Chains A and B, each alone.
Chain A
Amino acid sequence: MTIKVLTANRLTDGEAVWLGADGEWRETIEGALLARDAEAVAALESAGKAALGANLVVDVNLIDVEERGGELYPLRLRERIRLSGPTIDFEPRKKPENSAVSAA
Chain B
Amino acid sequence: MYRYDEFDHAFVAARVEQFKDQVQRRLSGELTEDQFKPLRLMNGVYLQLHAYMLRVAVPYGTLSAKQMRKLGSIARVYDRGYGHFTTRQNIQYNWPALGDIPKILDELAEVEMHAMQTSGNCIRNVTADHFAGAAADEVADPRPFAEILRQWSSLHPEFSFLPRKFKIAVTGAEHDRAAIQTHDIGLHLKKNAAGELGFGVYIGGGQGRTPMVAKNIRDFLPAEDLLSYTTAIVRVYNLHGRRDNKYKARIKILVHETGTEELTRQIEAEWRALKESDLKLPQGDINAIDTYFRPPVLPERPEGWGTLAVAKRADAGFAAWVDQNVTPHRHPDYGVVTISLKPIGGIPGDASAEQMELVADIAEKFSQDEIRVSHEQNLVLPHVALADLRTVYDLLLTDGLATANAGLITDIIACPGLDYCALANARSIPVAQRISERFGAPARQSEIGDLKIKISGCINACGHHHVGHIGILGVEKKGEELYQITLGGSADEITTVGEITGRGFSSEEVVDAIEKIVDTYLGLRTGRQENFLAAYRRVGAAPFKEALYGPVSRAA
How near does chain B come to A28, taking the closest CB pair, in angstroms?
13
Q: Which of B80, B354, B394, B422 contacts A91 (CB 8 A)?
A: B80
The answer to whether B479 touches A101, judged by C-beta atoms less than 8 angstroms apart, is no
Determine if A1 is an interface residue (Cβ-Cβ < 8 Å).
no
Question: A52 contacts B50, CB within 8 Å?
Answer: no
The answer on a CB contact under 8 Å between A103 and B395 is yes
Contacting pair B354 A95 (CB below 8 A)? yes
Q: Which residues of A contact B97 (CB under 8 A)?
A: 12-14
- B398 proximity list for chain A (CB < 8 A): 95, 99-101, 103
Interface of B, secondary structure class, is: mixed
A91 nearest CB across to chain B (Å): 6
Contacts of B49 in A (CB 8 A): 16, 78, 81-82
A11, B98: Cβ atoms closer than 8 Å: yes
In the complex, whether A77 has a CB less than 8 A from a CB of chain B is: yes
A59 at the interface (CB under 8 A from B): yes
Across the interface, do A77 and B476 meet the contact criterion of CB distance under 8 Å? Answer: yes
Q: Say whether B352 faces chain A, with CB atoms less than 8 Å apart.
A: yes
Interface size on A, residues (CB 8 A): 33
- B395 contacts which chain A residues (CB < 8 A)? 101, 103-104
Q: Is the CB of A88 within 8 A of B98?
A: no
Is A104 a contact partner of B391 (Cβ separation < 8 A)? Answer: yes
Cβ of B47 and Cβ of A9 under 8 Å apart?
Answer: yes
A49 within 8 Å of B (CB atoms): no
Distance in Å: Cβ of A102 to nearest Cβ of chain B:
8
B81 at the interface (CB under 8 A from A): yes
- Among the interface residues B398, B422, B427, B480, which one has the most CB atoms of the partner chain A within 10 A? B398
Interface residues of A in 30-46 (CB under 8 A from B): none
Are A86 and B50 CB-contacts (below 8 A) given A13-B98, A99-B398, A99-B399?
yes
A29 close to chain B: CB less than 8 A: no
B-chain residues with CB within 8 Å of residue A91 when the two chains form the complex:
80-82
Query: Are B48's CB and A88's CB within 8 A?
Result: no
CB pair A92–B352 under 8 Å, yes or no, is yes
The verdict on A103 contacting B33 (CB below 8 Å), with A13-B52, A15-B50 known, is no
Contact (Cβ within 8 A) B99 A12: yes
The size bracket of the interface on B is 35 or more
| Residues of B contacting A52 in the complex (Cβ-Cβ under 8 angstroms) | 33
B106: CB under 8 A from chain A?
A: no
Q: Which of B98, B353, B430 contacts A87 (CB 8 A)?
A: B430
1/0 per position for B406-449, CB-CB distance to A under 8 A? 00000000000011101011110110010000000000000000
**Which B residues are CB-close (under 8 A) to A85?**
50
Complex Cα distance A33/B422, Å? 24
| Whole-angstrom CA separation of A83 from B422 in the bound complex | 13
Instruction: Name the one of A15, A59, A90 contacting B350, with C-beta atoms under 8 angstroms.
Output: A90
Residues of chain B with a CB closer than 8 A to A14's CB = 47-48, 50-52, 97-98
Residues in B lying within 8 Å of A, measured CB to CB: 26-27, 29, 32-33, 47-52, 80-82, 94, 97-99, 347, 350, 352-355, 358, 361, 365, 391, 394-395, 398-399, 418-420, 422, 424-427, 429-430, 433, 476, 479-481
Cross-chain pairs A/B with CB under 8 angstroms, 30 sampled: A9-B51, A11-B33, A11-B98, A13-B98, A14-B48, A14-B52, A14-B97, A14-B98, A55-B26, A58-B47, A59-B422, A76-B479, A77-B418, A78-B49, A81-B419, A87-B427, A87-B430, A88-B347, A88-B433, A90-B80, A90-B347, A91-B80, A92-B354, A94-B354, A99-B398, A99-B399, A100-B398, A103-B395, A103-B398, A104-B395
Give the interface of A toward B (CB within 8 A): 9, 11-16, 52, 54-55, 58-59, 75-78, 81-82, 85-88, 90-95, 99-101, 103-104
Given A13-B97, A99-B399, A103-B398, 8 more A-B residue pairs with CB atoms under 8 Å apart are: A12-B27, A55-B26, A58-B47, A75-B479, A76-B479, A77-B426, A77-B481, A90-B347
